[in-house]
Structure 1
Amino acid sequence: MFRRRRHAEEETAPVVAEVAEEPTARTSGPWDAQDAYPEAERVDLGGLLLPIGPRFEIQLSVTGDHIDGAIVLVEESALRVQAMAAPKRSGIWGEVRAEIAREVTAAGGTVQEQEGPFGAELAARMPQAPGEAPQPVRYLGIDGPRWLLRAMISGRAALDSTAAEIVENVVRDIVVVRGDEPMPPRETIHLRLPAEARQAMEQQAAPQGELRPFERGPEITETR
């Protein structure tokens, strides 16, 4: 990428100041927390602001002591999303996508790359129990400023375009809150329970009182 100029050229060539490139304004989501993103009803999970709807059920994926992902269940479809840190100057979806393809193949599944609404994605079929048809799955990845949002779509939305549009719109409305702290590439951006859910869990632990964590909207549960 960089070539050493000959000494004579260095003496005669004008000095040009290097101008840093301005970040391109995003015109659609998923959004970065610094973007002027549109208002919508979202649940605050710390590292993600996740859009919610009356038909949604939200589950939180827990690894060890950390919440590392969220699953949105809507009708017969499931959307799992996870955000991870990425280098400032380059995206990592290309290499992550190649790793997913190798893992699917090693597990006995089939996978092909295709163009989707967010760019290159993977359409896979994962093996199930003997006698069961392979499960169709789509893997999406969107590179943002110092983050990668990884999504997996399964169920009806993996094949049906009408169902897919619903979960794709969820992805478009997600806001990633990367934070300013240094993080190694691929480290998961941890999530947290929203304040309402934490309060509901505390009430549930108490011996008295009726538990009503959500009068309307999604149900939030944890999966391990």
Structure 2
Amino acid sequence: MFRRRRREQPEQAAEQEVAEPTRESGPWDADEPHPESERIDLGGLRLPHNPDFDVRLASVGDQHVGVVVLYDESSLQLQALAAPRSSGLWDEVKTKILAQAKHLEQREGPFGSELTGEMKVEGSSRPARYLGIDGPRWFLLAVISGKAAADDAVAQPYIEFIRDVVVVRGDEPMAREEPIPLRRPNEQTGETGEQRPGFNPFKRGPEISEIR
């Protein structure tokens, strides 16, 4: 398994106490105090380890652009995007989604305002639930589909999963809505901003690959 790495120097680590989280749950920013737990390190995202979940990377060409989590006849898609320092993206992204999916409704959920309704996939409809979380210079979009999108009890394991995600924004300049780069565990990435594809929650084409 893959554990979170701290940034302090080795000689400081033994002397420093781990700071207590200032919030009850995440998603967490990598630079804020958050609980120590076993997580899968994918570069821009560190995901809680749950042996019941099948975690896969979604890729466009050679670029990893998101994560798909499969469990109990449902799925969770996660994508982390760069956001402006001064404001969040969720209100803007919600407007884009509603412009293309007319049958969604807004409601309050565990992370604030969310969208629920039907998602059309290859000519058929499937229950879908869009959750957006604004963080410091990042935005996390979570899309739950399948029976978990229509049943809060079935969705709860996914909600707990999202609450323990860590987002690693990094310090490099990134364009607005640019996907935060991901990688396989222990894989180095040499992507540049010009190479990474832009955000489009409806565009088909990502290839899904298992994380071994």
Structure 1 length-normalised TM: 0.72
Q: CA 1:129–1:178 in 2, change beyond 3 Å: closer, same or farther?
A: closer
Match of 2:44 in 1: 47
Q: CA 1:84–1:129 in 2, change beyond 3 Å: closer, same or farther?
A: closer
* Aligned: 1:171 with 2:162: yes
Match of 1:214 in 2: none
Offset from partner CA, 1:56-94 (integer Å, 9 cap, x none): 111100012210100111122211100000000110100
Match of 2:108 in 1: 115
The residue matched to 1:60 in structure 2 has which SS?
Answer: strand
Structure-to-structure mapping, 1:1-224, within 5 angstroms: 25-105=22-102, 110-128=103-121, 134-195=125-186, 221=210
> Which amino acid in 1 is paired with 2:97?
I
> Which amino acid in 1 is paired with 2:158?
V
> Which amino acid in 1 is paired with 2:62?
D
Q: Contact conserved, 1:26 with 1:35, CA < 8 A, in 2?
A: no
Match of 2:198 in 1: none
Percent identity, please: 50
| CA–CA separation in structure 1 for the residues paired with 2:121 and 2:84 | 36
| CA–CA separation in structure 2 for the residues paired with 1:26 and 1:92 | 21
1:146 CA drift (Å): 0.1
Aligned length in residues:
170
Deviates more, 1:168-177 or 1:69-78: 69-78
| CA–CA separation in structure 2 for the residues paired with 1:186 and 1:55 | 31
From the two aligned structures, give the one with the greater helix fraction: 1
Offset from partner CA, 1:126-178 (integer Å, 9 cap, x none): 23566x5x211000000000000000001121011221110000100000000
Q: Contact conserved, 1:93 with 1:142, CA < 8 A, in 2?
A: yes
| CA–CA separation in structure 2 for the residues paired with 1:173 and 1:129 | 32
* CA-based RMSD: 1.8
Unaligned runs of 5+ in 1: 1-24, 199-219
> Which amino acid in 2 is paired with 1:221?
E
| CA–CA separation in structure 2 for the residues paired with 1:169 and 1:194 | 22
Structure 2 length-normalised TM: 0.76
